[in-house]
């Protein structure tokens, strides 16, 4: 287990897949206890509940699954089967120990997903589009592995939504590839959070593949 205390400033400054892998390899062992719990992290709960409320069902791909926080909420709500994908092998190792995932897929979304087309009836992502190192260029890879009619619930940091072009990307997708697009605004952290990011907001994009 790492003795490194998770540092949100480091996470928000990630610029490359290599930096991502290095940081989350260090955090994997104590991410749940020394980050999620101490920072009152809530985004995974909001995302999972929004997915279920929209009628989402399995099989589901949990994108940027990390240690499995969102997957655990989904499983608790009766959703399954669930597959996990993440760029960090160490985080996936922690996720698989929770016994909630059918499969783990190590992948860099910038390079696509090694998964057959139309594999999933649902796609969720909590935190992957939070730190600004991944933009809307990853959306086509997610749409490829989703079945027609698949329900999506993707959380996106509000600060990056316009800056990284998510608004324009969703506008283009809505014209041809997705339907029933809506956005729900939620707080990323709960009332116990402290520090400069404690009031950060995310938008949960809910939509269906056309």
pLDDT of residue 90: 87
* pLDDT band at 157; cut points 50, 70, 90: very high
Q: Which pLDDT value is given to residue 10?
A: 47
- The more confidently predicted of residues 126 and 20 is 126
Q: What is the pLDDT of residue 33?
A: 47
User: What average pLDDT does the segment 43-66 reach?
Assistant: 97
Cα–Cα distance for residue pair 66/36, rounded to 1 Å: 11
Give the C-alpha separation, 184 to 89, whole Å: 31
The answer to whether 159 and 131 are in contact (CB under 8 A) is: no
Contact call for residues 21 and 86 (beta carbons, < 8 A): no
Question: Where does the pLDDT of residue 44 fall: very low under 50, low under 70, confident under 90, or very high at 90 and above?
Answer: very high
**Can you tell me the distance from the alpha carbon of 34 to that of 6, in angstroms, rounded to the nearest whole number?**
7
Global model pTM greater than 0.85? no
Q: What is the pLDDT of residue 62?
A: 98
Phi, psi of 187, rounded to the nearest 5 degrees:
-85, 135
66: pLDDT strictly greater than 50: yes
pLDDT for 28: 44
55 pLDDT higher than 80: yes
Query: Per-residue confidence at 123, pLDDT binned at 50, 70, 90?
Result: very high
Question: What percentage of the chain carries pLDDT values higher than 90?
Answer: 64
CB pairs under 8 A, 24+ apart, for 176-184? 176/210, 177/143, 177/209, 177/210, 178/143, 178/152, 178/207, 178/208, 178/209, 178/210, 179/207, 179/208, 179/210, 180/206, 180/207, 180/208, 181/205, 181/206, 181/207, 182/206, 182/207, 184/46, 184/50
Question: Measured between alpha carbons, how far is 178 from 73 in angstroms, rounded to an integer?
Answer: 25
Q: State mean pLDDT over 22-33.
A: 49
Mean pLDDT of 95-114: 94
| Residue 173: other Cβ atoms inside 10 A | 19
Hunting for tokens 């995310």 — which residue is that? Answer: 202
Task: Select, from the ranges 79-88, 157-166, 188-197, the one with the highest average predicted confidence (pLDDT).
Answer: 79-88
Closest CA to 183 of 50, 43, 45: 50
Place of tokens 């619930």: 153
CA 8/CA 131 separation, integer angstroms: 9
Q: Which residues contact 112 (CB under 8 A, 6 or more apart)?
A: 141, 144
Domain ranges of the chain: 8-209
- Which fold would CATH assign to domain 8-209? Rossmann fold (3.40.50)
Q: Looking at residue 17, what is its pLDDT? A: 53
Average pLDDT value over all residues in the chain: 85
Backbone angles phi, psi at 69, to 5 degrees: -65, -50
* pLDDT value of position 131: 65
């Amino acid at each position: 287990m790492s003795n490194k205390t998770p540092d949100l400033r480091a996470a928000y400054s990630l610029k490359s897949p290599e930096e991502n892998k290095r940081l989350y390899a260090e955090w994997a062992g104590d991410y749940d206890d020394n980050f999620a719990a101490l920072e009152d992290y809530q985004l995974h709960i909001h995302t999972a509940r929004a997915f279920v409320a929209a009628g989402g069902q399995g099989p589901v791909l949990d994108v940027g699954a990390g240690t499995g926080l969102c997957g655990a909420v989904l499983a608790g709500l009766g959703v399954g089967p669930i597959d996990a994908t993440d760029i960090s092998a160490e985080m996936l190792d922690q996720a698989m120990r929770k016994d909630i995932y059918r499969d783990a897929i190590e992948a860099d979304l910038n390079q696509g997903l090694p998964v057959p087309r139309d594999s999933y009836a649902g796609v969720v992502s909590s935190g992957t589009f939070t730190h600004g190192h991944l933009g809307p260029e990853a959306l086509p890879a997610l749409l490829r592995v989703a079945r027609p009619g698949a329900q999506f619930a993707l959380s996106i940091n509000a600060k990056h939504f316009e800056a990284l072009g998510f608004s324009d990307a969703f506008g283009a997708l809505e014209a041809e590839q997705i339907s029933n697009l809506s956005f729900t605004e939620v707080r990323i952290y709960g009332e116990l959070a402290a520090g400069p990011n404690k009031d950060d907001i995310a938008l949960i994009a809910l939509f269906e593949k056309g």
